[in-house]
């Protein structure tokens, strides 16, 4: 332990701290504390048409952030990677801080077991895309990928409202409706690489076609494009999209469908905490009150007392903090410093 601590002190990762009072017998102890600025990482959220970037310290506190939109129809993955790398290089120069250990990229779809490729992303159409290698070539930094909403769920468990919570389900609404589950601190990856597909629970066999090829999935009713149309809006979705919907006749059926699907998810996955992000994280209090009133009667009795529903800790840039949390786990806290 002394040897390890000496190494960390030498690297500047920890520093000596005051001990309030010596206790017990034997060699006096020495308290140490993490030096958050010893290293930085970058987190990137690659969404369908939107990229968010954050450089953070070792506690996932932001040092610099940026975001930009892109046209899925016109931009190739290589275009998006090149522009992201260029924007990241600008942020790194702006921060002018300690060595950046690596990059975590939160991607819109499940990733392969070694976290190097996107397997299949429905909303972008990207399949078997070796994105980590592309980012490494463009940035010169080590890169690791993770499913986007799993990444944000991990960020909540490590640095946000999900700390010390055994099972956290994160539900994220933007282009689509995604979910991520972290159990006992580990992202749940069914089949070694899958994702929790809450948005593709079929709630009506006669429903509208879904991007996955099925009909009547939750996501075919609850996605940004459909909700924008229902609110009579065009262009970039406003941050108060859910509030704007509240006065429309779409609101009640939207809430019912969301409640139905969350009840199924709670009974199957038994989360202690559900965190809502994206447009759901910015929804009015009335939506949270509706869920807290209508979900408990529909789940198993032991879940009624346990369940909590909260807003995301990370605001609109939650995906970038998700990427940073993955990078911190991979390149720092797991000991894989390169
Ligand atoms: Zn579907």
Give the tens place of pLDDT for each residue, 143-158. Answer: 999 999 999 999 999 9
Instruction: Describe the strand order of the beta sheet including 186-187 as a list of residue ranges.
Output: 186-187, 177-183, 167-173, 273-278, 308-311
Taking the centre of ligand 1 as the mean of its atom positions, its distance from the CA of residue 316, in whole angstroms, is 25
Taking the centre of ligand 1 as the mean of its atom positions, its distance from the CA of residue 274, in whole angstroms, is 21
Give the span between the Cα atoms of 225 and 218, in whole angstroms.
14
Sketch the domain layout of the chain as residue ranges: 2-34, 39-151+317-333, 164-312
Taking the centre of ligand 1 as the mean of its atom positions, its distance from the CA of residue 224, in whole angstroms, is 15
| Cβ atoms of 128 and 119 closer than 8 Å | yes
How many CB atoms are closer than 10 A to CB 24?
A: 6
User: What is residue 15's predicted lDDT score, i.e. its pLDDT?
Assistant: 82
Nearest to 167 by CA among 18, 303, 312, 327: 303
User: What is residue 84's predicted lDDT score, i.e. its pLDDT?
Assistant: 98
For the segment 13-39, the average pLDDT, to the nearest whole number, is 77
Taking the centre of ligand 1 as the mean of its atom positions, its distance from the CA of residue 194, in whole angstroms, is 15
For the segment 225-250, the average pLDDT, to the nearest whole number, is 93
Give the tens place of pLDDT for each residue, 65-80. Answer: 999 999 988 999 999 9
User: What is residue 228's predicted lDDT score, i.e. its pLDDT?
Assistant: 96
Superfamily of domain 39-151+317-333: ATPase, nucleotide binding domain (3.30.420.40)
Chain centroid to Cα 117, Å, comes to 17
On the question of a common fold for 39-151+317-333 and 164-312, the answer reads: yes
Taking the centre of ligand 1 as the mean of its atom positions, its distance from the CA of residue 176, in whole angstroms, is 10
Among 27-41, 190-204, 270-284, the range of highest mean pLDDT: 270-284
pLDDT class for 25, splitting at 50, 70, 90?
A: confident
For the segment 95-107, the average pLDDT, to the nearest whole number, is 95
Query: Is 178 a residue whose pLDDT tops 80?
Result: yes
Taking the centre of ligand 1 as the mean of its atom positions, its distance from the CA of residue 231, in whole angstroms, is 22
What is the fold of 164-312? Nucleotidyltransferase; domain 5 (3.30.420)
Taking the centre of ligand 1 as the mean of its atom positions, its distance from the CA of residue 330, in whole angstroms, is 31
Give the tens place of pLDDT for each residue, 118-137. Answer: 988 887 888 899 999 999 99
Give the span between the Cα atoms of 180 and 195, in whole angstroms.
7
- The mean pLDDT value of the chain amounts to 91
Taking the centre of ligand 1 as the mean of its atom positions, its distance from the CA of residue 208, in whole angstroms, is 10
């Amino acid at each position: 332990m002394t040897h390890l601590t000496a190494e960390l002190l030498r690297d500047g990762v920890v520093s000596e701290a005051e001990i309030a009072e010596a206790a017990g017998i034997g060699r006096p102890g020495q308290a140490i504390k993490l030096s958050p600025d010893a290293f930085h990482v970058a987190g990137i959220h690659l969404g369908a048409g939107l990229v968010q970037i954050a450089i953070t310290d070792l506690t996932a506190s932001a040092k610099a952030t940026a975001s930009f939109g892109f046209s899925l129809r016109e931009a190739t993955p290589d275009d998006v990677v090149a522009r992201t790398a260029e924007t990241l290089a600008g942020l790194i120069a702006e921060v002018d801080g300690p060595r950046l250990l690596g990059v975590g990229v939160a991607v819109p779809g499940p990733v392969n077991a070694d976290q190097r490729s996107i397997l299949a992303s429905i909303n972008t159409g990207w399949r078997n895309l070796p994105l980590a290698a592309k980012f490494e070539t463009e940035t010169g930094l080590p890169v690791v990928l993770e499913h986007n909403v799993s990444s944000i769920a991990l960020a909540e468990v490590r640095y946000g409202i999900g700390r010390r919570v055994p099972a956290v389900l994160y539900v994220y609404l933007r282009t689509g409706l995604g979910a991520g589950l972290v159990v006992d601190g580990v992202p749940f990856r069914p089949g070694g690489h899958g994702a929790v597909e809450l948005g593709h629970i079929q709630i009506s066999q006669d429903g509208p076609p879904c991007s996955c090829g099925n009909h009547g999935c939750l996501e075919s009713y609850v996605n940004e494009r459909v909700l924008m149309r229902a609110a009579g809006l065009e262009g970039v979705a406003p941050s108060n999209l859910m509030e704007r919907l509240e006065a429309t006749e779409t609101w009640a059926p939207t809430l019912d469908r969301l409640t139905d699907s969350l009840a199924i998810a709670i009974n199957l996955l038994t989360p202690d905490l559900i965190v809502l992000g994206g447009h759901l994280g910015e929804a009015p209090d009335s939506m949270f009150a509706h869920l807290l009133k209508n979900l408990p009667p529909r789940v198993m009795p032991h879940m009624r007392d346990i369940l909590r529903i909260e807003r995301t800790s990370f605001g609109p840039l939650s995906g970038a903090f998700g990427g940073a949390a993955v990078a911190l786990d991979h390149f720092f806290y797991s000991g894989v410093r390169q």
